Amino acid sequence: MPEVHELILGPVSCHCWNGDRSKFAMSPNNNEVHIYSKKGPKWEVESVLTEHGQRVTGMDWAPESNRLVTCAADRNAYVWSPDSSGWKPSLVILRINRAATIVKWSPKENKFAVGSSARLISICYFEEENDWWVSKHIKKPLRSTVLSLDWHPNNYLLAAGSCDFKARVFSAYVKEIEGKPEPTPWGKKMPFGAIMAEYANGGGGWVHCVCFSPSGNKLAWVGHDSSISVVNKAEDQVVTVKHNNLPYLASLWVNENSLVCAGYDYYPVLWSHDDAGKLTYINKLDAAEKKQAGRVSAMDKFRDLDKRAQSGTADTSVLSTHQNAITQIFPMTGPRDSLTAFSTTGVDGKLVIWNCKSIESQIAGIKF
């Protein structure tokens, strides 16, 4: 059974874990960032960061340097470093005139990318001379809001999904801070901002999430038209499947050939992509059962109704661990090419940790 933590009554806009998974950060769909640490069997709030002026839209925690980066609808980003007095924010010069939507550290943690509604991506790196984070912009050919980002394992390539129905791979090579990149199946020459690949799902759906496989040779993306697509650049294979579920909002490779997706259907599902380029739906990864009615206090009853925005007394709970849309999947434990656990958050205010080993028994022929 998955490990379930009831964090808040409202939506969780985003979450992330620190390097050793002893702490996690989340935003309760406002301008605050809550840092949790474990006290016995429960997770409790350790710190609250309130530097942002509007809703926090993205965050990422660098596992080695232990720095937390956040972005928000106030068009700002901050890099937070822990010290003896708490968390100290560092200034980031984003130079955007619309809301920031997502932020991701690069694998080597020497830069990070921020997507925005300004139809551009800011690649940020530290400038020691002025003691702040500066940015370079990737603009063309983006034509709408950037909804998702993911770094290639080589630290140079960046995938982006946006509201213009496209998934793209850009070069984010910053010559000021790093050496020249080695050739990959995505290309040999990688000047900053160069578009290495561009794909559409064929159905005109917003691209909600993009993710590279552990090797970096595969890229998966999910669209609002209930589609899932995978390209294997090494084999020059592209496949798109229109599934029967509601649209996915998040996706994550748990190994080189297995992909977990989740969204408006309240539960994660597993897909398999083999070496021949075939994309196959395997199973949903949730065996939750509806809770039996028992003695419930009036306060608990009304709290539950308020949480699901209901006014009546009818039981509308569903047979899933999450009781509303899942908006994010985050890797939890295990190496990148063989995850042993991942976490999900969503509109129901829950943090759920899924153990891949317990899932394995449900799925014939798929090894985690």
Q: What are the tens digits of pLDDT across the range 74-99?
A: 999 999 999 888 999 998 999 999 99
DSSP state letters, 199-211: EE-SS---EEEEE
pLDDT at 313: 55
Express each pLDDT in 278-290 by its tens digit.
999 999 998 765 5
H/E element holding 282? strand 279-284
Q: Which of 204-218, 246-260, 278-292, 339-353 has the lowest mean pLDDT?
A: 278-292
What is the domain class of 3-308+326-360 according to CATH?
A: mainly beta
C-alpha dihedral, 286 to 358 to 330 to 216, nearest 10°: -110
Token pair of 24 as six digits: 């996690």
H/E element holding 307? helix 298-307
H/E element holding 306? helix 298-307
CA distances from residue 282 to 106, 247, 258, 272, 314 in whole angstroms, order as listed: 31, 17, 10, 7, 33
Task: Please tell me the pTM assigned to this model.
Answer: 0.90
DSSP state letters, 315-364: ----SSSSSS-EEEEEEEES-TTB-SEEEEEETT-EEEEEEHHHHHTTST
Checking if the pLDDT of 275 tops 90, the result is no
Q: Is 302 helix (H, G, I), strand (E, B) or coil?
A: helix
Express each pLDDT in 20-47 by its tens digit.
999 999 999 999 999 999 888 889 999 9
Residue in this structure with the two tokens 């992330």, named with its chain if needed? 16
Checking if the pLDDT of 293 tops 50, the result is no
Judge whether 135 and 114 are in contact, CB under 8 Å: yes
Query: Residue 200 class from Cβ within 10 Å (0-12 exposed, 13-18 middle, 19+ buried)?
Result: middle
Judge whether 15 and 328 are in contact, CB under 8 Å: yes
Sheet containing 68-72, strands listed edge to edge, beginning at the edge strand earlier in sequence? 56-61, 68-72, 77-83, 86-91
As a whole number, mean pLDDT of residues 307-326 equals 75
- Residues paired with residue 207 on neighbouring β-strands, in sequence order: 223
CB atoms within 10 A of CB 299: 8
pLDDT at 301: 66
Judge whether 243 and 227 are in contact, CB under 8 Å: yes
- Residues paired with residue 169 on neighbouring β-strands, in sequence order: 159, 197
Express each pLDDT in 197-232 by its tens digit.
999 987 789 999 999 999 999 999 999 999 999 999
As a whole number, mean pLDDT of residues 304-318 equals 64
